[in-house]
């Protein structure tokens, strides 16, 4: 669906300012039907990568193809693309209803008024349809962005920090809507800082750091990345053995990590010292754990 | 505002989605052009800067009309009407420039174009709609002002001459050239620079430079540097758009509101020049728009 090979993007913020390298040989492969998440710190290059996929930014070098074509401004292939921007860069002089109608008509088809009313009502924007976007809160603007994404059934949906500024109720509804859209066959590419949200939605993840993809894999592989250690929680007696790492004290309890090969040593310690073991299980790392591990390893290698 | 979130119906967010057509509809270009055009007209109608400009000029015009309200018969003359219409046409030309400038620079600077170009709407379509909408608003204002002047003629018992219609048409043509110029400049440089360039570097400036260089050469300074300067000013004079390309042939209409038989053709020539220039400006602005980063 999307292939990026050795993508480089350099630009100047001002005339005569030194060149910034936003992407340095980025490689990416988004398959048809993926719910693909781009993860990275601020300035890592996630949004730049997405702008290249959308045709808003021409790469300095490298190749990018979306649905078999090089993306371009207003290309006919955009008929199959919906995009929700990170910042509410909308036409602020239009009302909620006018903006929704305008954005949906840019697909070259007139959208029935009933469909526009329906989507605005579903997002709770019905009572505010005559309000200009300049007067709307950030969350309401975001909802307008969501509305224009939901009106047309597209093959590809780009979401740049989609739940920023939304209230928890709408976030949950929106997540459900995304799952449903993905289930219907739409490929979703999402940028987000909310790693828990990505864990809930995505099936594939690319971790971007300093303009390059440091890891691209199925989410499940990232979540079970740390198969080599056990997470333990116990009431200590005497000193905590040195083979237990990442020790954290919570009241009378100690939480820590035991390497797989030292599991029997831990059992022996608890039996001989009389420590009460509350929990001992194969450690499943969260996406957050994997993210920091991969980024730190990448930087150490570099 | 928070009512928007609490009123969320428990039906799921996805409406009945319109499936994407395998082949875009044949009239897709015009559907998109119309959508852009309507949005741009709304922008022009709601822009506070443009509205403030219109109000200031209307207040000035109304104040200049006040003496007639107190019945000073000498004020209700052809000369006064000519002066008012001249001022209004100048105002329309400045407004047209403002519309062309703001339409492009505002949308570029507020980054809302990323919402447009990530859909199957090309920069060509968007730019065409911007120029058409500014020209349309300018045309409507010209018609309204022409109608007001006709009304004023009747009110002041002055003959309604065809020159009024002629000048209205010429004003529309001038506005097209001004809109094209400002659209082009706004797509190339910062709006403040664009406005400065439009005000300072006009045809008159380079014409006076050209005249000076020709006179200097005629006085005997035929150095290579002077000749090169003369060619340079001549080239610049030719490149700079002329707002009234056949002005010397139609200037007489402005003073009398009478149109001689052969003068209408110059209106057609002016229209031809305006459309040609608009096309060139459109193509260059399009090239610039395509090269810009809309992020």
- Can you spell out the DSSP letters for A210-256? TTEEEEEEEHHHHHT---SEEEEEEE--SSPPTT-EEEEEETTEEEE
Give A127's DSSP letter: G
**CB contact set of B137 (below 8 Å; sequence gap of 6+):** B41, B44, B99
Residues in chain A closer than 8 A to B187 (CB atoms):
none
Choose among A56, A93, A103: nearest Cβ to B294.
A56
- Look at residue B1 in the predicted model and tell me its pLDDT: 38
Could B5 and A170 be called an inter-chain contact, meaning their C-beta atoms sit closer than 8 Å?
Answer: yes
pLDDT value at A33 more than 60: yes
CA distance A282 to chain B (A): 38
CA distance A101 to chain B (A): 9
User: What is the Cα–Cα distance from A254 to A234, expressed in whole angstroms?
Assistant: 5
Task: Look up the domain containing B166 and give its range.
Answer: 46-198+258-287
Residue of B16, B46, B119 best to disrupt the A interface, most CBs of A under 10 A: B119
Mean pLDDT split into 10-residue runs, chain B, 295 residues: 40 60 72 95 90 84 72 67 86 92 92 92 95 95 91 84 90 94 93 89 83 89 87 86 81 81 87 94 94 80
Contact present, B15 and A119 (Cβ < 8 Å): yes
Is B205 contained in some domain? Answer: no
What is the crossing angle of helices B264-291 and B162-188, to 10°?
20
Is B209 contained in some domain? Answer: no
pLDDT value at A82 more than 70: yes
Neighbours of A19 (CB within 10 A): 10
Neighbours of A63 (CB within 10 A): 12
- Look at residue B6 in the predicted model and tell me its pLDDT: 38
User: What is the Cα–Cα distance from B100 to B138, expressed in whole angstroms?
Assistant: 10
CA distances from A22 to A10, A49, A193 (A): 6, 9, 18
- Look at residue A106 in the predicted model and tell me its pLDDT: 92
Is B227 contained in some domain? Answer: no
- Look at residue A301 in the predicted model and tell me its pLDDT: 64
Residues in chain A closer than 8 A to B118 (CB atoms):
54-56, 78, 81, 83, 158
DSSP B162-229: HHHHHHHHHHHHHHHHHHHHHHHHHHHS-HHHHHHHHHHS-HHHHHHHHHHHHHHHHTT---HHHHHH
CA distance B122 to chain A (A): 4
User: What is the Cα–Cα distance from A2 to A206, expressed in whole angstroms?
Assistant: 13
pLDDT value at A74 more than 80: yes
User: What is the Cα–Cα distance from B90 to B96, expressed in whole angstroms?
Assistant: 10
Is B21 contained in some domain? Answer: no
Is B241 contained in some domain? Answer: no
Number of domains in chain B: 1
**CB contact set of B207 (below 8 Å; sequence gap of 6+):** B237
Is B244 contained in some domain? Answer: no
Range B154-172 burial, b when 16+ CB lie within 10 A, else e? eeeebeebebbebbbbbbb
Is B271 contained in some domain? Answer: yes
pLDDT value at A14 more than 80: no
Is B112 contained in some domain? Answer: yes
CB-based contact, A66 to chain B, within 8 Å: no
What is the crossing angle of helices B203-218 and B224-239, to 10°?
150
- Look at residue B127 in the predicted model and tell me its pLDDT: 96
Report which of residues A90 and A285 the model is more confident about. Answer: A90
CB-based contact, A129 to chain B, within 8 Å: no
Beta strand segments in chain B, E: 18-19
User: What is the Cα–Cα distance from A292 to A294, expressed in whole angstroms?
Assistant: 6
User: What is the Cα–Cα distance from B4 to A163, expressed in whole angstroms?
Assistant: 16
Whether the full predicted model's pTM is greater than 0.90, yes or no, is no
pLDDT single digits (tens) A214-253 = 888 888 877 765 567 888 899 888 888 888 888 888 888 8
């Amino acid at each position: 669906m999307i292939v990026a090979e050795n993508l480089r993007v350099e630009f100047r913020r001002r005339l005569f300012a030194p060149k910034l390298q936003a992407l340095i040989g980025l490689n990416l492969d988004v398959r048809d039907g993926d719910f693909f998440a781009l993860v990275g710190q601020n300035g890592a290059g996630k949004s730049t990568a997405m702008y290249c996929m959308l045709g808003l930014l021409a790469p300095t070098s490298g190749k990018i193809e979306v649905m078999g074509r090089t993306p371009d401004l207003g290309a006919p292939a955009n008929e199959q693309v919906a995009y929700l921007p990170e910042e509410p860069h909308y036409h602020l002089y239009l009302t909620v209803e006018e903006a929704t109608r305008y954005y949906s008509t840019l697909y070259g088809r007139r959208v029935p008024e009933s469909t526009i009313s329906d989507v605005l009502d579903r997002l709770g924007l019905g009572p505010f349809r005559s309000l200009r976007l300049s007067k709307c809160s950030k969350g309401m603007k975001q909802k307008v962005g969501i509305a224009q994404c939901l009106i047309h059934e597209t093959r590809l949906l780009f979401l740049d920090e989609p739940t920023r500024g939304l209230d928890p109720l709408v976030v949950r509804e929106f997540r459900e809507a995304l799952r449903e859209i993905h289930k219907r066959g739409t490929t979703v590419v999402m940028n987000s800082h909310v790693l828990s949200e990505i864990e809930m939605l995505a099936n594939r993840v690319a971790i971007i750091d300093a303009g390059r993809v440091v890891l691209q894999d199925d989410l499940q592989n990232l979540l079970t990345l740390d198969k080599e250690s056990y997470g333990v929680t116990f009431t200590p007696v005497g000193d905590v053995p040195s083979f237990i790492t990442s020790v954290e004290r919570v009241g009378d309890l100690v939480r820590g990590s035991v390497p797989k090969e030292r599991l029997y040593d831990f059992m022996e310690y608890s039996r001989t010292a009389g420590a009460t073991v509350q929990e001992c299980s194969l450690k499943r790392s969260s996406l957050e754990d994997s993210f920091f591990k991969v980024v730190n390893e990448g930087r150490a290698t570099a | 505002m928070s009512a928007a979130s609490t009123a969320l119906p428990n039906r799921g967010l996805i409406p009945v989605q319109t499936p994407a057509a395998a082949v875009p509809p044949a009239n897709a270009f015009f559907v998109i052009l119309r959508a852009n055009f309507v949005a741009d007209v709304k922008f022009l109608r709601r822009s506070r800067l443009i509205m403030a400009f219109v109000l200031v000029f209307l207040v000035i015009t109304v104040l200049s009309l006040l003496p007639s309200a107190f019945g000073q018969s000498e004020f209700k003359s052809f000369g006064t009407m000519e002066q008012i219409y001249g001022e209004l046409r100048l105002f329309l030309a400045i407004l047209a420039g403002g519309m062309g400038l703001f339409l492009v620079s505002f949308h570029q600077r507020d980054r809302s174009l990323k919402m447009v170009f990530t859909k199957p709407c090309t920069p060509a379509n968007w730019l065409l709609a911007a120029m058409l909408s500014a020209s349309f608003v300018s045309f409507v204002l010209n018609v309204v002002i022409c109608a007001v002047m006709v009304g004023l003629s009747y009110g002041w018992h002055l003959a309604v001459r065809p020159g009024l219609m002629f000048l209205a048409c010429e004003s529309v043509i001038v506005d097209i050239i001004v809109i094209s110029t400002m659209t082009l400049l706004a797509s190339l440089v910062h709006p403040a620079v664009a406005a400065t360039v439009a005000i300072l570097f006009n045809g008159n400036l380079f014409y006076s430079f050209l005249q000076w260089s020709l006179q200097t050469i005629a006085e005997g300074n035929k150095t290579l540097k002077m000749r090169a300067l003369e060619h340079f000013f001549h080239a610049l004079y030719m490149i700079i758009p002329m707002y009234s390309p056949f002005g010397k042939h139609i200037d007489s209409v402005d003073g009398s509101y009478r149109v001689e038989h052969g003068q209408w053709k110059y209106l057609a020539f002016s229209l031809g020049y305006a459309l040609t220039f608009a096309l060139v400006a459109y193509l260059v602005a399009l090239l610039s728009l395509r090269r810009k980063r809309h992020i």
